[in-house]
Each structure stands twice: as structure tokens, then as C-alpha cells.
Structure 1
Amino acid sequence: MKKSVMWTFMTLGVFLLLLIAALITYGSTMHSDLSGNLQQKLGAFMDKKKVENQFNGVVLVAKDGKVLFEKGYGFANSEEGIPDRSDTEFRIASLTKSFTAVSILQLENQGKLKTTDPISKYIANFPNGNKITIHELLTHSSGIADHLKLTDTTKPITMSAFIDLMRKHKLEFNPGSKYKYSNTGYMILADIIEVVSGENYGTYFQEHIFTPAGMHHTYLRKADAKNFAVGYENMRKIVERDDESQLAGYGDIISTAGDLLKYNNAIHNDKLLPPSKIEKMETGYIDSASWGIFKYGYGWNVADNFISFGRPLVEHNGSLPGYKSDLADFVNDRVTVIILSNNQGTWNTGALSRELASITLGKRFWYFQKNF
């Protein structure tokens, strides 16, 4: 009887070992099929993605703030045969949120506001404004309704008209009780920036972020962009319908991969914020993905677990009709991946960024990570 039990356990043990070996072999990759130096490996990998995902855009990978790999794929304007290049300007969509978060923290650093302040301190007669804090706007936990469902987004809207619109609607849940991604919250933050600074938020961005970081190819209006990429859906030209004013503070920035690297470097080099505020921005406060894989900080998703190869990561993606973006920064390793695309599809920008990072870091990439 004892021998039977022992053999059963030994068989199970062997089975488990074989199962683990199979999972490692078939459930992940070290990209051992790629050859050459690191730049050549990244290039070969992206050449495959160009075919598999119809990738159209620019990819940049940096180490210690310096470009390791940068290449454009496909067309900025397919109809006119203009290729995507390093100077092509894209809508970065929700990557804009981090700029709004930086601005709020700059104003806090100057003693002009606190993230613990209720928004009623800056916006009068806002329903439950005494219950909603700036922190809750930053972390998508305010409970404020979605303005995109309440207005005609194809028409221009002023900030005052936007605030008046939001005054008419009740909270969807108690502030701070749960996470619900909110573009509207960041548009309200843009209004608070204007109230506190006395400047138009776009002017504030220019004077306090774009210029100090050396971002000379970054704009808020399509009309200002000189090398703007046309948006496509599966390489079919889309018609941009939303007015840019409807994207204020959360999705209206247009930039290049190189300028976004300058922005990221300016954060790392403390040009925009002191270390204490950077730490505050890059701290995860509330679960923003299943099983707590990502937590949301201020304008960034934060991870330090298997999804980020056990290394601290701040990341955010963006999506608008015709455009996708991602910036993934492994803060301790100083490995940064920036993806800007003008061909929207079903592929996952975050997964692509992290897989490029896995090649750069020499880490195993698990196939299930593509789902996050």
C-alpha cells in the first residue's frame, strides 16, 4: 500500500515537472529566434509585428534616456505616399493625462493647491463638490458622470460650458469607493489648472512642461502640427468627428516619439517635479486591472509584479479613432518604450511595449501577458 502511494506521488511529481517544462516552452518566449545585436533583434521583432498587426507608426526604445532603437513603419499619409518617420506627429490620446497630473503636482509643489482639497474649493456650486477631492479625480475614483455621453462631442465646447454641463448631473457612486476610468475627471482637472494658475491650460502645458522639457514638436491643435499623421482603421482612412475642445486635459496632445522621450527624461531628471512629487505621481492607489495587476497612480498605471518582470513599471496607453499610443517606463532599469500608431486595430499597445522591453531586458515574455 505504501509503495502504491509513493509511486502515485512520484508520478504526480514527474507530471508536474513535465507540465511546468511545457508551460515554459510553449507558454512563453525568450525570443531566442532573434539574432544579432540588440538593435537588430528589436528591428527583426518589429518587422514581424508590421506584418502580423498591420503596424503603422513609430516605435522607440531607449536605455538611460538615450535612443537604442527608433523606426517608422507604414504611412503617415497612405494616399500621398508619405511614410511614418521619427518626426511624424501623432495624437497621443490618453497619454495626455500624465501631463495634466504633472501640472496638478507642480501647482501643489508651489503651494497653490493640495491633492486632498475638495473640488468645491475651485469650482463653485458643483454637486457634491465638497465630497470629491483632486486625488479622486486623478485616480478615476470620483464617481462623476461621463460627459461624452451627455453632449454632442462633434461640436466645440468651452470650459465654462463643460462645467455647467457637469453641474446638472449626479454622481454615479460615492467618491473613493471604486475605480472607473474617467476622461471627464481629467477635463475637470484641466479647469482646475486654469483656475489656480490663471492661465489657459494649454498655455500652462507649453510654459511649464513642453518648453522646459525641450518638446518642440508637441501641440494641442491639429492645425499647428506640421507633420501630422492621418488616422486609419485597418488602413482605411477615418473621419475625425470629435472636436478637439472635447478632449481637453485627457486626450488632446499631439506629439512625436522623440518628444515623449524628452518628456520622460525631464521627469527622471527632476526638471518638471521634485523627487517627492514624482514618487507621489508614480504610487499606485487603486486597482485599475484584474487581480491588482495594475494600480492607478496620478496619470499612470503602476506595476511591480509578474506583468512587469518583477520590476517597477509606470505605463499608460491611449486610443482615439485612428490612433493608438503607449509609453512604458521601467523606472529603475531606465528602459523606456514608446509606441505611436495611426492605424487602430485590435492589437494591444501595452503588451507590445512590454514585449519590446522583455527583449531589451533579456526577460522571458509569457504569452498570457498579451491580455493585459
Structure 2
Amino acid sequence: MPDWSARLSELAVAAEVPGAVLGIWSDGELTITPYGVLNSATGVGTTADSVFQIGSISKAWTATMIVQLGAEGRLQLDDPVVNLLPEAPIDARVTVRHLLTHTSGIDGDLFTDTGRGDDCLQRYVALLVGVDNLFDPGTAYSYCNAGFVVLGRIIEVLDGRTWDESLHARLTEPIGLTHTVTLPEEAILFRAARGHTADHSSPVKTSQLPRSIGPAGTITTAAEDLIAFAQLHLTDDSYKSMQEPQVPFASGVGGFSNLGLTWRIYDWDGRTIFGHDGSTISQQAYLRVDPEARLIVCLLTNSGNGNRLFEPLATEVFTEYVGVAHPEPPQPIDVPVDDRHVGRYERTSVRLDVVHKDGRLVLVESATGDRLAFAEEPEHEYEVLPTGPDDGNHFVVRYSADFPWSPLTFHDSYLFASGRVTPKR
């Protein structure tokens, strides 16, 4: 068996990640391996029980509670949301299933801070009256944070308590989790990680997303707790439906081939794996579960460079346990490009300007609206390079030369990148 402490250390140094925790559960045997520091400014060391923000992995926790409510007969997945939440200003055709599978069409990257009160989700949902619909419900996929806040509000209304309280009553307490919280004042009672930027690895100045984003991404937890949550989905057939394919995912980055009820379903060289990634303010987290091998792997990091660490580390871990590697990212090809895709593309919280410069395409990403309050960079420039198939519509981008490539596809009226539809203006 490899020395995971040594390998985590070596790979984290190469990826410029200040602190991380690797968790591996293999058919009953748990290994937790910490590395580095939680905060480069204070030098506080990372320990096995340190807590990190898990970002959008929180969505799987919210989805789990929705499935519980379904099992209790209090909702159906194909119920129109407005039947459960009449005040929600969204298309009457949007169902609970659409929200769970990012197919509602809601332009969903709304990060408005609606305060710290227990009514923050209710107030957030009311703001959706001014949000555009990107497409008709059920006709496409576009990653939607707002949809999970709406799901969180449904949980509040049906349970008669806050989403945070339902999370505790429905999941953290029954599972026996001791290091899982939702608010920053709770996180600081533990050894809590602080995010670090990808460019200079300096600590960020904003600790957490607004409470109003809770159901979509504010859970803070330790590796052992996250693995215990994943075990619930490995051992309890009540949640099996969450692993069943609902929406094909065409780009296949990282082996992502289908979407279940929130869980992402991956094909790694013929092995079916499920999981999710999470990214907050310079903290990135990863969770992968191989049901056949009864293997759970998580990685918690306090850096915007987390992906540079995860991909090689996941390859080593999964090669050791099940003989498969993390799929290789797409690669650029050397073909000429034209200016057919030049223009401005825009959705809530982000503007993408594609320009043709010296025979190449460049994409300038600018944070807008509420996202400006916590964006690592208000603006970042990416080179856009073609990839296969050679039809002039498929490209790849990356944050910098040290990062893996990710796909970007142009369509007639929008571009698709980071799992999101961004319309051309």
C-alpha cells in the first residue's frame, strides 16, 4: 500500500495547495491523511479532524432531504414547485426533479446576500422574480445554484424549521456527525480551513458565501463526516434512486457522463462511479464513490489550486484500489480558428467576452453583480483553443498553464462552459 501521507505531501507541494485532507474508506477500513497548514498567515497545522467548506457537495445533502420527504409522502419529484411553494416566482412547469437535475432553465448563479436571519431563503426565493429563464424546463442542462436554494426553502416549509435545522435533524444527528456545520461562527469552534487564492496562495479576505446560499453550498465538514454521509448512499437503498441516470452529460470532462438526482455519475474506464465536486471562496472539495468496490474517496483543500492536486491524486488512489485512473482532460489540436464565435455572452453574475486576437480566440471572464463581492479575480483572460471534433465549435480553456484543460462548446445562440448555458447578447 502506498504511503498516502508522503504522496499527498509531494503532490500538494507541486500543486501549490497549502492544506488538504485525503479520506479513503475501503470496505470498512478508514484512512484519514492530513497535510500542510489551514491558514498560511497563522501557520496552524492541518489535522485529520480539521473542517473545510465543501461547496456544492452540499447540494447532495439537500437532495438527500428532498428524497426523504418524498419517501414520507410529503412531495413527489414530478410535483410542480409552485404547488409546494406558491410564492416562488418561477415557471409553473418547473418540477422538483428539474431542480434536482439542473434542468429548470433558471439562470441560477444568483449570490445575493439576503441577511443572516432565519428568513434568508424566503427572501432569496422572492428575488427570483427578476431572473431570466435560459430555456424551457426539461429541455437542457445548465448548472443552477438558485434551484437548490428553492429546494432548501421547500424543505423549510414542509418541515416548519430552517434548512440548517432540518440538516441537523435529518442527517447530521441521525448519522452521528460531530464536525458538520453551516455557519462561520460554528466552523471556528473547530480547526477550520481558510481559503487561499490560486495565483499567489495568499489567504482570502472573505470567509464564506452568504447564508442564503446554504442549501447550494455552505456546509463545512471534516473528511470523516463527509465519508460517513457518503456511506449512507452506499449502504441504504432508500437513496439508490439518486444514482440512477436522469440527464446525459455530453462533454464527459472527468468522466462525467450522466446526472442522477444531483449525484454526478462518472464512467472511469468502464467503472461506474458517483460523486460531486464543490468550490467556494478558494476552497475546493471532491467526493467519489465506487459502489462495486465499496470505495469512498474524498479530498478537502483550502486552495483555488485544488483541481491540480485532485486529478493526479485520484489517479493514484483509484489505480491502487480498483485499477482505473482519473480520465485524461481534453486536449487542444492545432487547427486555424475564425471569428464566427466572437461576441459577448452573459448570464447572472458573469460576462464572457470572446475576441479574435492575432489569429487566436481569447475569452475574458468578468464577474458581475453580487459575485463581485467574493470573486478571487474580477476579471480573468483565457486562451481558447480548438479541440476535437474539428467542427469549429469545440474548444478548451484553462486557468493557467499548470491547470488541466476544460471544454467549452459554442452553439448558435449560446456557449456552454463550466456546465452552464451562457446566452449570446
User: Normalising by structure 2, what TM-score?
Assistant: 0.71
Do the aligned partners of 1:302 and 1:313 also contact (CA within 8 Å) in 2?
yes
Distance 1:65 1:185, change over 3 A: farther
Report the counterpart of residue 198 of structure 1 in structure 2.
Answer: 160
The superposition leaves residues 293-320 of structure 1 with CA deviations (integer Å, 9 ceiling, x where unpaired) of 42111221012x3xx2321200101111
Percent identity over the alignment is 24
* Residue 345 of structure 1 pairs with residue 305 of structure 2: yes
Report the counterpart of residue 95 of structure 2 in structure 1.
Answer: 133
The superposition leaves residues 155-213 of structure 1 with CA deviations (integer Å, 9 ceiling, x where unpaired) of 65712211211123342210000000011100110001111122211111101100111
Do the aligned partners of 1:287 and 1:293 also contact (CA within 8 Å) in 2?
no
Tell me how far apart the structure 2 counterparts of residues 119 and 91 of structure 1 sit (CA, whole Å).
Answer: 29
Q: Secondary structure at the match of 1:368?
A: coil
Correspondences of 1:3-18 after superposition (within 5 Å): none
Distance 1:242 1:261, change over 3 A: closer
Q: Which consecutive residues of structure 1, in runs of 5 or more, have no partner in the other structure?
A: 1-37
* Residue 177 of structure 1 pairs with residue 139 of structure 2: yes
The superposition leaves residues 265-314 of structure 1 with CA deviations (integer Å, 9 ceiling, x where unpaired) of 233232xxxx1x422101121133505842111221012x3xx2321200
* Residue 282 of structure 1 pairs with residue 248 of structure 2: no
Correspondences of 1:52-201 after superposition (within 5 Å): 52-55=14-17, 56-67=19-30, 69-146=31-108, 148=110, 151=112, 153=113, 156=116, 158-201=120-163
1:252 to 194, 215, 218: 218
2:14 is matched by which residue type in structure 1? E
Tell me how far apart the structure 1 counterparts of residues 29 and 58 of structure 2 sit (CA, whole Å).
Answer: 22
Distance 1:289 1:345, change over 3 A: farther
1:88 is matched by which residue type in structure 2? S
Q: State the Cα RMSD in Å.
A: 2.3
Q: Secondary structure at the match of 2:194?
A: coil
Do the aligned partners of 2:208 and 2:218 also contact (CA within 8 Å) in 1?
no
Report the counterpart of residue 325 of structure 1 in structure 2.
Answer: 285
Tell me how far apart the structure 2 counterparts of residues 352 and 95 of structure 1 sit (CA, whole Å).
Answer: 20
2:32 is matched by which residue type in structure 1? E
Question: Quick check: 286-295 or 214-223, which moved more?
Answer: 286-295
Q: Secondary structure at the match of 2:143?
A: coil
Report the counterpart of residue 232 of structure 1 in structure 2.
Answer: 196
Q: Secondary structure at the match of 1:294?
A: strand
Tell me how far apart the structure 2 counterparts of residues 284 and 148 of structure 1 sit (CA, whole Å).
Answer: 27
1:240 is matched by which residue type in structure 2? T
2:155 is matched by which residue type in structure 1? I
Do the aligned partners of 2:5 and 2:35 also contact (CA within 8 Å) in 1?
no
Higher strand share: 2
Tell me how far apart the structure 2 counterparts of residues 339 and 319 of structure 1 sit (CA, whole Å).
Answer: 12
Q: Secondary structure at the match of 1:194?
A: helix
Tell me how far apart the structure 2 counterparts of residues 138 and 340 of structure 1 sit (CA, whole Å).
Answer: 24
Do the aligned partners of 1:154 and 1:242 also contact (CA within 8 Å) in 2?
no
Q: Secondary structure at the match of 2:217?
A: coil
Deviation (angstroms), 1:71: 1.4
Q: Secondary structure at the match of 2:233?
A: helix
Deviation (angstroms), 1:364: 4.7
Distance 1:342 1:122, change over 3 A: same
Do the aligned partners of 1:221 and 1:244 also contact (CA within 8 Å) in 2?
no
* Residue 268 of structure 1 pairs with residue 234 of structure 2: yes
Question: Quick check: 244-253 or 178-187, which moved more?
Answer: 244-253
Higher relative contact order (CA 8 A, sep 6+): 1
Tell me how far apart the structure 2 counterparts of residues 48 and 239 of structure 1 sit (CA, whole Å).
Answer: 28
Deviation (angstroms), 1:366: 6.7
2:307 is matched by which residue type in structure 1? W
Tell me how far apart the structure 1 counterparts of residues 210 and 29 of structure 2 sit (CA, whole Å).
Answer: 32
Correspondences of 1:34-53 after superposition (within 5 Å): 38-40=1-3, 42-53=4-15
Tell me how far apart the structure 2 counterparts of residues 289 and 212 of structure 1 sit (CA, whole Å).
Answer: 37
In the alignment of these two chains, the number of paired residues is: 323
Q: Which consecutive residues of structure 2, in runs of 5 or more, have no partner in the other structure?
A: 330-403, 407-425
The superposition leaves residues 41-68 of structure 1 with CA deviations (integer Å, 9 ceiling, x where unpaired) of x34432321221023211111201421x
Deviation (angstroms), 1:352: 4.3
The superposition leaves residues 57-97 of structure 1 with CA deviations (integer Å, 9 ceiling, x where unpaired) of 11111201421x32111101222221111111111101100
Distance 1:350 1:331, change over 3 A: farther
Deviation (angstroms), 1:367: 6.6
Distance 1:367 1:185, change over 3 A: closer
Do the aligned partners of 2:285 and 2:306 also contact (CA within 8 Å) in 1?
no
Report the counterpart of residue 298 of structure 1 in structure 2.
Answer: 261
Question: Quick check: 170-179 or 154-163, which moved more?
Answer: 154-163
Tell me how far apart the structure 2 counterparts of residues 46 and 243 of structure 1 sit (CA, whole Å).
Answer: 28
**Based on CA coordinates, which of the two structures has the bigger radius of gyration?**
1
Tell me how far apart the structure 2 counterparts of residues 365 and 267 of structure 1 sit (CA, whole Å).
Answer: 23
Tell me how far apart the structure 2 counterparts of residues 352 and 196 of structure 1 sit (CA, whole Å).
Answer: 43
Distance 1:70 1:243, change over 3 A: closer
Do the aligned partners of 1:154 and 1:241 also contact (CA within 8 Å) in 2?
no
